Amino acid sequence: MSIFSQHIFKPGYYISENGQKYEVLIKDEDWRSNPVNFSFKENESSPEQSAKLENVREFSIYGGANYIKATVQLDQSSLETPKLSRNITPDYIEDTVFLLLLASGDANLYYHHGRTLKNFFYSINGRPIEPLVYKKYISQPVNFGTQSIKENKYYQQQLEKNLICDGTTTAARNISYTENDLVNYFNKYNACTGSIESLPDTGSSTPFHLRIRPGINKSGLELNSGQGHANFEDKYNFRLGLEGELILPFNNQKWSLIIEPTYQSYTATSFYRDLEVTVYYKSIELPVGIRHYFYLNEGSAFFLNASYLLDFNFGNSRFDMTTFSDMDIATINGNIAVGAGYSYKKISAELRYYTGRDLLANGEVARTADYKTIAFILGYRIF
């Protein structure tokens, strides 16, 4: 597999149209919409193959998603308010699709996510799969009254009528047409009938990670004006950050949002118009951005990230002009940072490039002070 593989092959199986079961490695693509095909390998060293809907009855990743092929009625009604119809009845078309199994037992719950709509289905005791009926529609105005958006919640009556066990019918009236509510209801019913089967949680979580991130900055500064120019030498300085990372619940958790308050400093001396100038600069950087992982295996990955950074100086940061008035460094500043790195379990390393930021952006219109940094950053994940 390429080291830049976007997905991981995991143990699973599929059942062909003639009923033959094959133990294979299935590419886990964390499907947001129900797939119409999937990729697999017979073993780690074999070539990747593709299996299509028309040739497969069922496929499953052990400990993950389980898809069943079925011919069902799919609602095509729009959920966009301007496109809602006045028809209370769903706009069904018949189609053969893969349904995701969400709950299993005497009563099975299935899910299909198409381009725009989410449809839930159910079956009881092996009977044919039927849609759980739900639709938003616009009510007909009465006596020139205003239109309103209403909901056809017939699925609640279906649950009340067909899934009866020790008070579940009463609970059905409070069930919303959402995955969590429906899964909980079906699990409660199957537990009541003694038929519940444990399924993995196919809903993606949104874990949060916290890392301590020490590193080394290589920073340089260039001061320019119409009257002169000064280059301040590159300096290597310690930086320390605390990164919070929120893993986004889709696409196999390859995307995340990051924020990293960071302490950094820079002190250097140069000559400007034959005068000695010393810059004293301390700040807290606040980069906020997005990260993308390229997983190699369960424990390691390359990653890329990009952030917009706000910089807040403190500690009397300034340009000490010796014989002239000091120049204050901008209180708040901003620039872009991009980085690439590698993570292995709890340890990570990153090389980050910062675009220049003008330290005199708060009013020294006749001068610019372009501050640029490259950083090498180590990380340790606390949780």
Reported as a single tens digit per residue, the pLDDT across 90-104 is 989 999 999 999 999
- Asked if 248 and 283 sit in the same domain, the reply is yes
Residue 144 is part of which domain span? Answer: 8-192
Beta strand pairing status for 92-103 and 107-113?
antiparallel
Domain contains 169: yes
- Asked if 213 and 356 sit in the same domain, the reply is yes
- Asked if 317 and 348 sit in the same domain, the reply is yes
In this prediction, residues 264-268 reach a mean pLDDT of 94
pLDDT for 217-250, tens place per residue?
A: 999 999 887 777 889 999 999 999 999 999 987 7
pLDDT for 148-187, tens place per residue?
A: 888 899 999 999 999 888 766 567 888 999 999 999 999 9
- Asked if 290 and 352 sit in the same domain, the reply is yes
- Asked if 340 and 306 sit in the same domain, the reply is yes
- Asked if 32 and 130 sit in the same domain, the reply is yes
- Checking if the pLDDT of 146 tops 80, the result is no
Predicted confidence at residue 57, as pLDDT, reads: 95
pLDDT band at 4; cut points 50, 70, 90: very low
Q: Of 160, 192, 224, which closes a domain?
A: 192
Q: Of 163, 192, 221, which closes a domain?
A: 192
- Asked if 277 and 149 sit in the same domain, the reply is no
Q: Of 192, 218, 240, which closes a domain?
A: 192
Domain contains 2: no
Residue of 102, 12, 24, 15 whose CA lies nearest to 55 = 15
Residue 124, exposed/middle/buried by CB under 10 A (0-12, 13-18, 19+)? middle
- Asked if 91 and 35 sit in the same domain, the reply is yes
Sign of CA dihedral 360, 365, 366, 372: positive
- Asked if 263 and 155 sit in the same domain, the reply is no
- Asked if 82 and 148 sit in the same domain, the reply is yes
Helix (H) or strand (E) holding 237: strand 228-247
Predicted confidence at residue 36, as pLDDT, reads: 92
> How many domains is the chain partitioned into structurally?
2
Domain contains 96: yes
Domain contains 113: yes
CA gap 348, 300 in Å, rounded: 9
- Checking if the pLDDT of 255 tops 80, the result is yes
- Asked if 81 and 147 sit in the same domain, the reply is yes
- Asked if 172 and 256 sit in the same domain, the reply is no
Q: DSSP label at 286?
A: E
- Checking if the pLDDT of 5 tops 60, the result is no
The residue ranking higher by pLDDT, 41 or 361, is: 41
CA gap 191, 82 in Å, rounded: 42
- Checking if the pLDDT of 115 tops 70, the result is no
Domain contains 197: no
Domain contains 144: yes
CATH code: domain of residue 325:
2.40.160.20
Predicted confidence at residue 312, as pLDDT, reads: 94
Predicted confidence at residue 2, as pLDDT, reads: 39
Domain contains 1: no
Domain contains 127: yes
Predicted confidence at residue 364, as pLDDT, reads: 56
